[in-house]
Structure 1
Amino acid sequence: MIALLPFSPLEPGRLAARKRAKLLCTQINAIPVQLQKQRQPLYQQLFAAVSSAFIEPDFYCDYGSNIYLGENFFANHHCVMLDAAEIRIGARVLLGPAVHLYTTTHPIDPVARAAGAQLAAPVTIGDDCWIGGQTVVMPGVSIGARSVIGAGSVVTRDIAADSVASGNPCRVQRSL
């Protein structure tokens, strides 16, 4: 597990960046599916890196500027990426409906939590992965290339490449 780094979500730069991302997400989500090419320039503005992507509405993220998408990325409906830290997704990755990628969490200590502190750690998904619907990937997790994560999983630990994993908590069921 990568160390969680503290930050304040109320810093003026972070507030402005989230506002910008929310506006771009709203614009992306409003474009009808048959006009997919109109979304591409907005993807270029929102994400740190993207070559080719198809993202079904509704899509939401915190900043966008910390999201790196590999070629031929696909996300089904209702994808959420909380990107206070980097989210790096490889080429040809498929996300099922309602997949959530979280780099953000809150302190366990109630005093720190009440003070508004948040914590973040990056999420990485390797090339050629398929993440089943309603899966949640927690902060600091890496999923190795060519892995498949079963629907409804909560991924709390790294998953090695070439694995089939599922469950809550997510566990490797077998190797490919």
Structure 2
Amino acid sequence: MLSNTPSNFSEQKVDEWLALAREFLRILALRKKDQFDRRVSVGDLLTERTDNAAAYGFGEGTTMYDNVLVRGDVRVGRNTWIGPGCILDGSGGVLEIGEWCSISAGAQIYTHHTVQRSISLGEKPIDCAPTRIGNGVYIGPNAVIQMGVTVGDRAIIGANSFVNRDVPPGARAFGSPAQIRCN
């Protein structure tokens, strides 16, 4: 008998259910592969990206993978795509993301950090500031946008960039720390 399992559940019954669940997930995975030519996590097999975004009150047409971490006050406009493995942190103030943005896989956008609290051994508070991403912004894979930053409309943030200061509208920011290049 399995530990911590009700006595009316035999190991055989649990194994049967597990086999059924695995077959169900296999069928869903094949369906997703046929529809979109992609392999996704179990959460994304069981949910729809538009429903995930709608559950947070994000704008119409916005999509978000199931494994996106959303904390605090995060507001997202219409028709924005939020890729897998992103962190949207509104725990230190409002995180506002505009319309028609692309937030690539693994991007992290913060409204707080704990640097001073850590190095002061808890004597100083967590630093917080709202962060704003404008309309039509592209944020590349694994980019990190620090708290308090404003990224202007139609800006581009390069892959693996660390953005710790404001980016003007239409500018391109690449590197760590990001260097800003205007059109």
Determine if the TM-score, normalized by the shorter chain, exceeds 0.5.
yes
3-state secondary structure, aligned to 1:152 = coil
* Aligned CA-pair RMSD: 2.3
Given that 1:100 and 1:137 are in contact with CA atoms closer than 8 Å, whether structure 2 keeps it comes out as yes
Which blocks of at least 5 consecutive residues in structure 2 are unaligned? 1-41
The one of 72, 88, 93 equivalent to 2:96 is 88
Q: Secondary structure at the match of 2:48?
A: helix
How many residue pairs align between the two structures?
A: 141
Question: Which of 48, 52, 56 is the equivalent residue of 1:35?
Answer: 48
1:163 aligns with 2:176: no
Structure 1 CA distance, aligned partners of 2:80 and 2:46? Answer: 16
If asked which structure has higher relative contact order (CA below 8 Å, sep 6+), I would say 1
Change (3 A) 1:174 1:99: same
CA contact (8 A) 1:107 1:113 kept: no
Once the two structures are TM-superposed, the CA of residue 115 in structure 1 deviates from its matched residue by 4.4
> Which runs of structure 1 show a deviation greater than 6 angstroms over 4 or more consecutive aligned residues?
none
Amino acid at match of 2:165: R
Q: Secondary structure at the match of 2:75?
A: strand
Aligned-residue identity in percent: 21
Residues in 1 aligned to 2:71 and 2:60: alpha-carbon distance in whole angstroms: 20
| Structure 1, unaligned runs of 5 or more | 1-28
CA-to-partner distance for each residue in 1:31-80, whole Å, 9 max, x for gaps?
Answer: 52773454355233xxxx533311123100222xx111111011111010
Q: Which residue in the other structure is 1:52 paired with?
A: 61
TM-score, reference length from structure 1: 0.71
- Taking a change above 3 Å as real, the CA distance of residues 71 and 168 of structure 1, as seen in their structure-2 partners, is same
Which residue pairs with 1:130 in the alignment?
138
Distance 1:37 1:158 in 2: 30
Question: Which position in structure 2 is the counterpart of 1:139?
Answer: 147
User: Which position in structure 1 is the counterpart of 2:77?
Assistant: 70
Summarize the Cα distance change of 1:111–1:34 in structure 2 as closer, same or farther, 3 Å threshold.
closer
Contact kept, 8 Å, 1:43 with 1:50, in 2: the verdict is: no
The answer to whether the Cα contact below 8 Å between 2:172 and 2:180 also exists between their aligned partners in 1 is yes
SS at match of 2:55: helix
Q: Which amino acid aligns with 2:45?
A: P
Partner of residue 31, structure 2: none
Aligned-partner Cα distance in 1 for 2:106–2:84:
6
Normalising by the residue count of structure 2, what TM-score does the alignment of the two structures yield?
0.69
Report if aligned partners of 2:54, 2:60 keep a CA contact under 8 Å in 1: no
Of structures 1 and 2, the larger Rg is shown by 2
